[in-house]
Each structure stands twice: as structure tokens, then as C-alpha cells.
Amino acid sequence: MISIARLSEARADYREVIGRSPVAEEPNAIGIIHKFVDMGQSNYIGYINDEAAFLYGVITPTLLSSSRAFIWMLTTDVIDKHKFEFIRTSEKVVENTLREFDMIIGETHVKDQRAFKWLRWLGAVYWGYERELVPFFITEQTFRDRRKKR
């Protein structure tokens, strides 16, 4: 069973999630997560059967571009055992975010193949593969169209 809590209420230790993620060996991974959390309006931790499975947050880039939300997520190997549940929860998160914003933007670390697969399944469109962080976007249209590709 997946449960999601606000990060501020859960008082979670990022190291547990980072240590089980594809970027565990990256220098300053904790610093990057702290930066995202500090910038985010909404930050969450997801548990699957009481194991920390993922962190995510939503950042509104500026007040002037409030039609876009930057979403970040860090996943762990825990979701590999619960893919179906995780995908269904992710669909709800994306649907709810797209009700509030016209577009979800973000970046995926090149080492996080799990995230690439997951986000493509949710309708993400990627470009700029020459960098360590690969940008993507999801719109209502790409989210709906993903079902046609299956």
C-alpha cells in the first residue's frame, strides 16, 4: 500500500531515500535535494508498505509563469517491487497537478533509467540528451496521448 505524506510533517531523512536511489553515488546529492525542497511549495515522501520509496515536490518557477510547474522526484528500488501501485499513484499526482497547471516541466538524471521509463509512460516528452539532466515536459495532451501509444 502506498501512503504519501508532506515532507515537513514526516520529518524524513533524505539519506535513506538517496542511498537507495540511482544517484546514490553522485556528489552533493543531499545538497541538491535540499535545494529542491527549499524551492518547493509542496514536497512529499511516498512510502510503500512503510518503506521510504520516493520523494517528490512541485515548484512554481515564478509568479509570472504560474501556468507551469516544475516537478522533481527521486525514486528508490522499493518501487520496482510495486510498479503497478506506483504507476496508478503517479497518474493521480500528474492528473491533479495538470488541473492546477497547464504544463509540468522537469529534468531527469541520465542515470535514472527507471524515471525515464516511468515519466514516458506518464506522457513526458524529452529533449536535450547531451546533458547530465535531461529536460522534459508533460501537458494535458501528452498525458492523454500516452494511452494511444500502449
> Whole-model pTM?
0.80
pLDDT in tens, 15-67: 788 888 888 888 888 888 888 888 877 888 899 988 888 888 888 866 556 78
pLDDT in tens, 131-141: 788 999 999 99
Question: What is 2-149's CATH number?
Answer: 3.40.630.30
- Between the alpha carbon of residue 30 and those of residues 24, 34, 79, 123, the distances in Å are 9, 6, 20, 28
